[in-house]
Structures are given as structure tokens and as C-alpha cells.
Amino acid sequence: MSADAYVVIEHLRGQVTDISYVMLAAARELVRDSGGKVVAILLGHKARELSTDLSADEVLYVDHPDLKDFIPDAYQAVLVGLIKEHQPRAVLMGNTSIGADIAGALSVTLDLPLVSSCRQLTSDGKFVCQICGGKILAEGALPEPASLVTMTPGVHKAENGRATTPPTVTDAQAPSLEGLRTQLRKYIEPEAADVDISKESLLIAVGRGIQNQDNIALAEELAKAMGGTVCGSRPVVDQGWLATSRLVGKSGKHVKPKVYLALGISGAPEHAEAIVDSDVIIAVNTDPAAPIFDFAKYGAEVDMFDVLPPLTEQVKQAKG
């Protein structure tokens, strides 16, 4: 086994995703004292130029028509071969709709330990995972001699994974990708929305605490009084209480309003990563241990149903 940390670069429709840069930064930290290299694995088709700003000592580039888009079987087949051949200390993947699809099968096929939902790797070989909606951290020593890791954002900074000079790119051969059982038919664009929440400056966000669809009206009334827009977290959209276009989170929109008023939102990591660029986050929640209070600027431990009516009324009065 080598001391090298390998990073499976994620890209979607011609764009390297932010988690790839986060993973490169984490990999750099992991090998800081060991002398290992950071190696990026880039799978794609006519996608070599995606390597340009990857902060890696080397990029292993595999080009194949079946790697143009993410197909789990195809990625697995290539990665199994590369990991067996190079035997790195660690292979980092995103805890995302790409990385999480392949990590399980790689762990089983290669009989390698898998550490999931990892937010931090340290140069002394430790990992810290974030579980239970961000309420618990789990720490351990990254299993030796080799481990697979799925990473979440939060500690390592994407900017530390970006390079200003292109890295060395080495071509690697794809194995036969005959007989794939999964195929991409097409992409379906997000439905045209009445509003683009990623561009709104005032967002009134509701979470599971809103309890039912009828209560959305309370948030709508405040939004109307303030000139803001209502959006929500995953449970609210899954219940069909808000349109998918209003979803804030890992699989929804990332937002950066002047004010993000979070009502009944706990601040699970999947939601947190999408709102941290807001200028001011204000959280209203009855749970004093809700993780959102750890990154909001202002908070109130109060039932939203007690505070929403007087708040709407006072906003109306203030605006005359």
C-alpha cells in the first residue's frame, strides 16, 4: 500500500462539483506528514480539461464514451481496477448522489473499510464523521492499510482544493465496459419556477416544524408583508407542501440571501451546506440543541406558531 490519497473527482454536465475541491483539500491534509501524494481520478469522455484547476500532484484520467456521464456500474468497474493497481492509503468520494452510489459496492468488492459522512480528515490519520442530523460527531483512526471515505462539506475549504497551475495528467486505460446494466436516458431540467430562490435577498424558510400544509399560509403572510419568498427544507417538499423549486438543500438550491429566516429547521448538514453563504441566518426553533443555532447569527428558542402572528403584525406596522 502507498501513502497516497486518491480523490474521485465528481463532475456533472461539464462542471467539476464543489465537493471535489473539498475532497482534494481533505486529501492534502491527510497526507501532509506522510509524504504521500494527492492523486485525482478523473473519469469522463473528452473531459481532460476538467483537470485544469485540480490541486493534485497527479491526475489519473480515464477516457471512455461510457464515462461521459455518471453511470454507477461504469464508475465501479474502472475504480475497482485502479484501486487494485495503485493500492492507495485512502480513496475519497463525495457523500453525494455520485459518491454514495459507488462507495458501498467498492467496499464490498475490494473488502475495504468504508467511512461515510466524513467531514474531516487529519494528518495524524483520524476521521471525524457527522451523524444524526449533525447532532453527533464520531471520531476514529482511519483503518489501515487502506480505507474508502465518503466526504461531506463543512470543515475542509473548497478553495484549498483549487490550483492556479494545471496538474500533471496521466492517461489510464479503461477496462471493458461491456454489459453495463445501467444506462442514462436523459437529463430532465428543473421545472421553470415562478421564482429563483437562489437569487432572492429575503427568504422565509420552513422546516418540519411547520407541521402541515395549512400552516404554510402563516409563512406566506409574513413573506408577503416583508417582500420575501417562502422556501423550505426537504421534509416540507417531500410532503408536497411546497414546490420542488422552493427546496433548499443538498438536492435543491444553494442560496445566499441577505436574510435567511429559518422557521422550525434543525439545520441538518444537508440543509446547512446550502445556506451557509447567506449574509445573516436567523433561526427560530423550540429545540435548544438544534444544530442551526451553531451557525445562525441570531436565534430564538420559541415556537414559531407563537412568534409568527405578532411578527407579521409588527412587520406590517413597521412598513406602515
Q: Which of 20, 51, 150, 229 binds other proteins (CB under 8 A)?
A: 150
The piece of 11-19, 42-50, 81-89, 169-177 that touches other proteins (CB under 8 A) is 11-19
CB-wise, 63 or 287, nearer to other proteins?
287
Give the torsion sign (CA, 213, 255, 10, 65).
Answer: positive
Q: Which of 55, 61, 251, 278 binds other proteins (CB under 8 A)?
A: 251
> What dihedral do alpha carbons 56, 62, 66, 70 form, nearest 10°?
-10
Residue that has been written with the C-alpha cell 474502472 in this structure:
78
List binders of other proteins among 89-148 (CB under 8 A). Answer: 96-97, 100-109, 111-117, 127, 129-143, 147
Q: Does 301 bind other proteins (CB under 8 A)?
A: yes
Query: By the 8 A CB rule, do 98 and 92 touch?
Result: no
CB-wise, 91 or 296, nearer to other proteins?
296
Query: By the 8 A CB rule, do 318 and 310 touch?
Result: no
Nearest Cα neighbor of 29 from 111, 110, 105, 123 is: 123
Site string for other proteins, 259-278 (x = CB under 8 A): x-x----x-x----------
How far apart are the C-alpha atoms of 131 and 150, rounded to whole Å? Answer: 13
Binding-residue total with other proteins (CB under 8 A)? 107
List binders of other proteins among 217-246 (CB under 8 A). Answer: 226-228, 234-235, 238-240, 244-245
Q: Which of 172, 177, 276, 300 binds other proteins (CB under 8 A)?
A: 300
Query: By the 8 A CB rule, do 102 and 41 touch?
Result: no
CB-count burial class (<10 Å; 0-12, 13-18, 19+) for 80 = middle
List binders of other proteins among 68-97 (CB under 8 A). Answer: 69-73, 96-97
How far apart are the C-alpha atoms of 172 and 61, rounded to whole Å? Answer: 6
CB-wise, 59 or 115, nearer to other proteins?
115
List binders of other proteins among 197-216 (CB under 8 A). Answer: 201-202
The piece of 30-38, 48-56, 162-170, 311-319 that touches other proteins (CB under 8 A) is 311-319
The region that residue 196 occupies, defined by phi over 0 for left and psi between -120 and 50 for alpha, beta otherwise, is: beta
